């Protein structure tokens, strides 16, 4: 039984091969067609038991049409299958209501058809609205016809209950499948939107070359750190560092080497700052670092160790090998009164480091 169920699921969820066909619509239509085939078989047996041969033949004929609908979805003709499903259900509802009674719950099938029609993304909203208006006219016309025409088939109370149960079960299952499909489609669309928004956010906040934060993202982060200091006294330090004689690297070895140096240095900075703060490409060969959750002297020691590590690093690109140094300036936020002030002070100290011989970290005035 489990094997049969597995094969059936595989058949229902089989992908369509044409790009113009909607796989979601195909799967939903297959599920609806299978549910209706099952309900129609029960109704056919019940009508046969009641000796209502015409209605029994209508059910059997509709089973055949539903089988054709299934085949159309596997032949990449889902849209045609949908229209066949809708038309045959309208014919069946009209015949059943005129032959029996409105109260036997054949008409809610129209709601299932409306939901199916609206699920098709390739149909314009204007057409869907016209379709809904057409359904209202159809149901009103059907109601008038039922009252004007005499009943051809009298159904007893017990048989009526059986018909109502079968119809309600089929319609509730069909509506549930449609609701599930709508929910699945909505969830997937939401996930896509979240993914694309995240992608756009990354594009806006990330430096394309180094994959570090750019100035915009770091400014937002600095604002958060400033708020944290003001509310909870969470101190932090800001450092700006610059690659010494970077222009000479580009002029001598080309921009390929320069890009390699920036990416390699970014990887070192990202690894070093992980869990201890943040780093961003501030512009050109400048990087801005934040040291969070540590004392100022610990931050100074850490950036000086980072300077020593970079000085020992060999940057090898193609047949070129070279060593580089960095110069930096650092300031404690608690000693400044704003983000602009702490950045300005760190930048001034960087400049002093540059004019004082480079390859050094300046942490005091």
Do 154 and 256 sit in the same domain of this protein? no
What is the DSSP pairing of strand 326-332 with strand 320-323?
unpaired
Confidence of residue 101 (pLDDT cuts 50, 70, 90): confident
Confidence of residue 211 (pLDDT cuts 50, 70, 90): very high
Tens-digit pLDDT profile for residues 225-245: 999 998 888 999 999 999 999
Is 223 inside any structural domain? yes
Is 147 inside any structural domain? yes
Do 127 and 255 sit in the same domain of this protein? no
Q: What is the predicted pLDDT for the residue at 184?
A: 85
Q: pLDDT at residue 80 above 90? A: yes
Tens-digit pLDDT profile for residues 266-322: 999 999 999 999 999 999 999 999 999 899 999 999 999 999 999 999 999 988 899
Is 180 inside any structural domain? yes
* Domain termination site, one of 170, 202, 234: 202
Q: What is the predicted pLDDT for the residue at 304?
A: 95
* Domain termination site, one of 202, 235, 262: 202
User: CATH code at 262?
Assistant: 3.30.70.270
* Domain termination site, one of 178, 202, 226: 202
Is 175 inside any structural domain? yes
Least confident of 73-87, 106-120, 143-157: 143-157
Q: pLDDT at residue 128 above 90? A: yes
Cβ partners under 8 Å of residue 41, min gap 6 = 59, 63
Do 6 and 146 sit in the same domain of this protein? yes
Q: What are phi and psi of 277, to 5 degrees?
A: 170, -155
Least confident of 58-67, 141-150, 307-316, 340-349: 141-150
Confidence of residue 360 (pLDDT cuts 50, 70, 90): very high
Is 210 inside any structural domain? no
Burial 36-57 (b: 16+ CB within 10 A, else e): bbbbbebbbebbeebebeebbe
Confidence of residue 117 (pLDDT cuts 50, 70, 90): very high
Least confident of 6-10, 60-64, 171-175, 346-350: 6-10
What does pLDDT average to over the chain?
89
List beta partners, residue 281.
Answer: 287
Q: pLDDT at residue 30 above 70? A: yes
Q: What are phi and psi of 322, to 5 degrees?
A: -150, 160
Do 138 and 184 sit in the same domain of this protein? yes
Nearest of 115, 146, 120, 144 to residue 132 by alpha carbon: 115
Confidence of residue 62 (pLDDT cuts 50, 70, 90): very high
Q: What's the total number of domains in the chain?
A: 2
Angle between helices 23-49 and 2-12 (to 10 degrees): 120
Do 137 and 26 sit in the same domain of this protein? yes
The catalytic residue among 31, 99, 178, 285 is: 285
CA distance 163 to 169: 10
Do 68 and 179 sit in the same domain of this protein? yes
Do 168 and 220 sit in the same domain of this protein? no
Confidence of residue 18 (pLDDT cuts 50, 70, 90): low
More confident residue, 100 or 303: 303
Q: What is the mean pLDDT of residues 328-340?
A: 92
Tens-digit pLDDT profile for residues 36-59: 999 999 999 999 998 888 989 999
Q: What is the predicted pLDDT for the residue at 7?
A: 67
Do 9 and 53 sit in the same domain of this protein? yes
Is 329 inside any structural domain? yes
**What is the residue range of 291's domain?**
215-362
Tens-digit pLDDT profile for residues 149-180: 765 566 778 888 998 999 999 999 999 999 99
C-alpha angle 127-106-61 in degrees, rounded to nearest 5: 90
What is the DSSP pairing of strand 361-362 with strand 326-332?
parallel
CA dihedral 15, 18, 21, 26 (to 10 degrees): -30
Is 311 inside any structural domain? yes
Do 197 and 223 sit in the same domain of this protein? no
Least confident of 8-12, 62-66, 277-281, 309-313: 8-12
The two tokens of residue 2 are 């489990």
Is 328 inside any structural domain? yes
pTM, two decimals, is 0.61
285 is a catalytic site residue: yes
Q: pLDDT at residue 195 above 90? A: no
Do 140 and 266 sit in the same domain of this protein? no
Do 291 and 179 sit in the same domain of this protein? no
CA distance 212 to 192: 24
Do 154 and 264 sit in the same domain of this protein? no
């Amino acid at each position: 039984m489990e094997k049969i169920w597995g094969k059936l699921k595989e058949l229902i969820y089989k992908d369509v091969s044409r790009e113009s066909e909607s796989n979601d619509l195909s799967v939903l239509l297959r599920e609806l067609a299978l549910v209706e085939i099952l309900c129609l078989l029960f109704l056919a047996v019940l009508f046969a038991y009641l000796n209502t041969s015409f209605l029994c033949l209508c059910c059997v004929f509709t089973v055949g049409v539903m089988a054709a609908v299934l085949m159309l979805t596997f032949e990449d003709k889902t849209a045609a299958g949908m229209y066949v499903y809708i038309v045959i259900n309208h014919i069946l509802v009209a015949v059943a209501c005129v032959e029996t009674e409105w109260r036997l719950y054949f008409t809610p099938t129209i709601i299932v058809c409306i939901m199916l029609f609206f699920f098709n993304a390739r149909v314009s909203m204007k057409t869907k609205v016209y379709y809904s208006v057409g359904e209202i006219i159809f149901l009103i016309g059907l109601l008038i016809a039922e009252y004007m025409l005499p009943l051809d088939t009298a159904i007893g109370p017990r048989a009526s209950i059986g018909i109502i149960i079968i119809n309600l079960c089929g319609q509730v299952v069909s509506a549930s499948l449609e609701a599930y499909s709508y929910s699945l489609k909505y969830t997937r669309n939401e996930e896509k939107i979240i993914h694309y928004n995240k992608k756009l956010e990354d594009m806006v906040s990330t430096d394309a070359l180094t994959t570090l934060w750019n100035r915009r993202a770091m400014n937002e982060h600095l604002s958060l750190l400033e708020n944290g200091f003001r509310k909870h006294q969470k101190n932090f330090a800001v450092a700006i560092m610059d690659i010494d004689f970077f222009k000479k690297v580009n002029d001598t070895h080309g921009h390929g080497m320069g890009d390699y140096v920036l990416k390699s240095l970014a990887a070192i900075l990202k690894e070093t700052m992980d869990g201890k703060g943040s780093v961003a490409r501030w512009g050109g060969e400048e990087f801005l670092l934040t040291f969070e959750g540590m004392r100022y002297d610990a931050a100074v020691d850490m950036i000086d160790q980072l300077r020593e590590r970079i000085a020992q690093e060999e940057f090898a690109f193609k047949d070129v090998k070279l060593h580089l140094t960095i110069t930096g300036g650092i300031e404690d936020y608690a000693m400044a009164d704003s983000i602009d002030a702490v950045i300005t002070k760190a930048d001034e100290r960087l400049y002093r480091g540059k004019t004082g011989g480079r390859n050094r970290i300046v942490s005091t005035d």
